[in-house]
Each structure stands twice: as structure tokens, then as C-alpha cells.
Amino acid sequence: MKKCFDADKYLKIQKKKIKQRIAMFDKLYLEFGGKLIDDQHAARTLPGFLPDLKIRLLQEFKDDAEVILCINANAIEKSKIRADHLISYETEVLRLIEFLRSRGIFVSSVVITLFEGQKKAKDFAEKLKDYKVKTYFHTFTKGYPTDVDTIVSDEGYGANPYIETTRPLVVVSAPGPCSGKLATSLSQLYHEYKRGVNAGYAKFETFPVWALPLKHPVNIAYEAATADLNDKNMIDHFHLEKYGTMAVNYNRDLETFPVLKEILNRITGKTIYYSPTDMGVNVIGECITDDKAVQKAAKDEIVRRYYRALTDLKKGLVGPEVPERIKLLMNELGISEKDRLVTSAAEEKRQKSGNLPAAAISIGTKKIVVGRKTGILSPVSSTFINALKTISKIPDEVDLIAPAVLEPILEIKNKTSNFKESYLKIGEVLIALSICSTTNPVVKKVLENLDKLSGAELHATHMITDDEMVVLSNLGINATSGTEIDIN
């Protein structure tokens, strides 16, 4: 995929924008929306945007910034999972702490929000002691969202303990949505003003992009990504009325802004923001270098989201309204699931293989490689090996991994698992390739070309297992699948 987003320019002007906002206050609470690390949606929709770009941005402020991580007590109690990595929200918090610290970024505390005495939340707080990070418990804000008098009082935000912070920039982030970032930020503002500190609030949100048109594919891709939350992009009428300028925001921010504006006014004693767009520090639109290519990438992402919504529906993770909503968005842009070329290639391979599960992967812009389920490999695994051979110019008849190596792995796997499988998945094949590379120079050469598959498109005719999806995502391969389940 052609790069059409300037990451270096983004870092430069986004840093300047945040510095300008910090300069308005003694201390700025900056709510970070979306994924703090591994932002694959942004990377897919804006080719050139790096999955760790937000971390690189934070590193620019590492001497002046600290991070507060919020996690909803109910998410802990229900063991809520981050789907892209198959880990719980609390595990993601621990991963964030370690990752941020490894990059020199100070994590000062964790806030467990909406706390009502949940046992698992208490247990998690105990675990956080091992990470030497302060833990705070915040409860539901009394009076929220309509009784501003109570909200902005010692019964409301004042009932939560003050989180000790020491730096001029306080980043408030979370492992996922509905974690209490906004409530935590506003609670802190209340306490700061009682202490005589001129504190401020701003929002760092990658999508929707306020400077792009409402119906731009990048903004519609955001709607597709949040179809399960029923987010809808809208014109920020507050911004239009105040400044006469069109800006895009989304329904939840627009709906809550009147209350949020009143809360901020009560806390600070002045009007700082006149629209939800005012609160943001988003410069994404200024860094797009090829709008035509970005539109194509965003449309591709919407189609991928549609396929994933269909598989989520099959798994019972979402209702039928989610894929229906994305399908309407596709119709609006004049695109369809048939535009995904690897889908038809995988289906054709399946038909030619006697209805065996099959897959197809793109290499570059023109080449598509296919594979099918074999006696020992999953369709994803066999297609992956075929792709590596093609990139490395290895003849098809050459075995990268001898059956004598694969068969014992499968045998041990089934001896140590309650669920018997007749094939090896892509993660297991990668391990086998790594072992073989120590003695086989051909395999070593193949693995050196592994990064060339980053950005490739893959589709399987049958549902890809969650663990294979995680490996594909980590490799940078954009994978989708059909909804049929391989029961053999």
C-alpha cells in the first residue's frame, strides 16, 4: 500500500499543537481516545501512520508528562477482553504500564472507575502494588449527567479522591472505551481548582477527523469501526454557529457538550471552549499527502470491517444491526464486499480443491497467492507458506518444513490439548520455521523476507480462529474470513 500520510509532519505539528494547549494552563489533563499503542485501524486507514505513533508523540513530552490509566471496575469483574490481542482489560493495563515505562514515559497511577466494592477490582488493585503504581478508586459521580450543582460539588466530583500528579501534562488513557477517562479528568479539574491550580482539559482523538468532510471515507471508516457503539459522525453545529466553519465530530460528544461546557464553566469560572471541536488537538487532516490513496485505503478498511462484523455476529458478539449498519455505509460509498479481490480468489481455490477450506493473500498490487487446508496445515498456514515461497522465489515443490518435523509437533499438540485438531496453525508453523532456520539456509532466507508481507490482504473461506487472527495482525497482515466453521 502506497504511503499517503506524513508521520514526521504529524509529529512536528501535533507536538506544537499540544504545547500551545499546555501553555494555556498550569496543568493540562489530556484525554487520549482510541488505542494508545497498536493503533492498527489508523495504520490501515492512513497508510504511513505508524501503530506506535502516539507513543512516539508522548516520548516528545516524556520529561513533562505523566500518564493516568483508567479501567472500569465492571470490565474487571466481567473479564472484558481486548479482541485484537485476546487479553483482558486488566492485563492490557499491566502491558501498558510496562510498555510505557520501557519508552521512558512515567505512569503515575491507575484509577479503577465505577467502583462499587467489586472483589476482582480489589484483587487487581493488590496486583498493581507489584508494579509500584498508585491505585485510586472512583465511584459513579452523583448527579451525573443532569444535576450540575451536585456534580460540581463535594458530593459529586469532590467525593472521589484526588490523584496526586506532579507534571504539567497529564495524559489520561485506558485499555478501551467506557473506562471513565472523561469523569476522571473532570474530577481532577474540580480538585485542582479547589487547590488554586489553573488546570485545563483537552481531548486527543484520532477519529473522526474534524478537518475532513463529513462523508469522507476516512470518517465513514470510523463509523464502521464503532458500529457496535452506534457512533455516528455529525457536523459540529456548535462550531459552525460560533465560527462559521464546518467541522466533523460524533454524536456522543455533541450530545454531551452542553452539559460538559456547563461543568467546565462551573469548575473554572470561565468559558474556554465553545464546541466539541474546540476541545480537540487533532491535526490528522493536515498530514494526508495523497487524498485519493487515503480514500481507497479507508474504503478497503470498511469492507474488512463488514466481514469482521459478520464473523462477530456468527460468534454472538454483536447483533445483526452491526453488519447491517456497515453495509449501509458501504452502499453510501458505492462499494461492496465483492471489491475485496482476495475473497473471490479464496473462493475459487476452495471450489477447485473439492470444497476444502482455502485462503488467498495478496503480494504487492498484482500478485495473489492461494492455498488450502492440507493434511497437516490450516488453510491460513499453507497460504502463508506459499506466499513466503513466492516472495523468496523458492520453487513450489520445495518443502520449507519437512513433514517429519511437522507431524511430531501436531502429535504433541494433540496430546497436550483437550481439543483435537488435524492441522497446525500459523503461530505453530512460524515456530517450526524458526527452528528449521538454524540449520537450513533456505528457510533462513525465507524468514528474512517475512516483513514483506506486512500490509498484505488475506481472506479465508472459513472462519479464522482467534489465535491465528492475532498472529496475522502482529505480522501486519489484514485478514478477513467467511462465517463457515471448519469442523474437521
Which is more confident, 88 or 415? 88
Strands, E, within 242-351: which ranges?
248-250
Which pLDDT does position 421 carry in this prediction? 64
Class of domain 7-287: alpha beta
pLDDT of residue 422: 65
CA dihedral 351, 354, 358, 363 (to 10 degrees): -60
Check: pTM over 0.75? Answer yes or no.
Answer: yes
Instruction: Let me know if the fold of 7-287 is the same as that of 340-484.
Output: no
Question: Which residue would you say has higher pLDDT here, 480 or 400?
Answer: 480
> 109 - beta bridge partners?
68, 134
- Provide the edge-to-edge strand list for the sheet that holds 65-72: 134-137, 106-113, 65-72, 169-173, 27-32, 199-204
What is the predicted pLDDT for the residue at 25? Answer: 96
Mean pLDDT of 412-430: 75
d(CA 151, CA 232): 27
- Sorted by where each begins, the domain ranges of the chain are 7-287, 340-484
- The model's confidence at residue 120, banded by pLDDT at 50, 70 and 90, is very high
Q: To the nearest whole number, what is the mean pLDDT of the chain?
A: 93
Q: What is the mean pLDDT of residues 387-393?
A: 94
Residue 467 has pLDDT above 70, yes or no: yes
Report residue 482 as a C-alpha cell.
467467511
The matching CATH number, chosen from 3.50.50.60, 3.40.50.800, 3.40.33.10, 3.40.140.40, for 340-484 is 3.40.140.40
Mean pLDDT of 35-63: 92
pLDDT, mean of residues 269-274: 94
pLDDT at 419: 60
DSSP result, 416-458: S-SS--SSB-HHHHHHHHHHHHTT-HHHHHHHHTGGGGTT-EE
Could you give the CA distance from residue 265 to residue 270 in angstroms, rounded to a whole number?
5
Secondary structure (DSSP) of 189-256: HHHHHHTT--EEEEEE--SS-TTS-TT-HHHHHHHHHTGGGT--EEE-HHHHHHHS---EEEHHHHHH
User: Residue 416: what pLDDT?
Assistant: 63
Q: Calculate mean pLDDT across residues 137-155.
A: 95
Mean predicted confidence (pLDDT) in 303-330 = 96
Rounded Cα distance between 332 and 381, Å, is: 36
* CA–CA–CA angle 115, 119, 123 (5° rounding): 100
pLDDT digits (tens, 9 = 90+) for 233-251: 999 999 999 999 999 999 9
- Per-residue model confidence (pLDDT) at position 420: 61
Per-residue pLDDT, 410: 73
pLDDT for residue 407 = 74
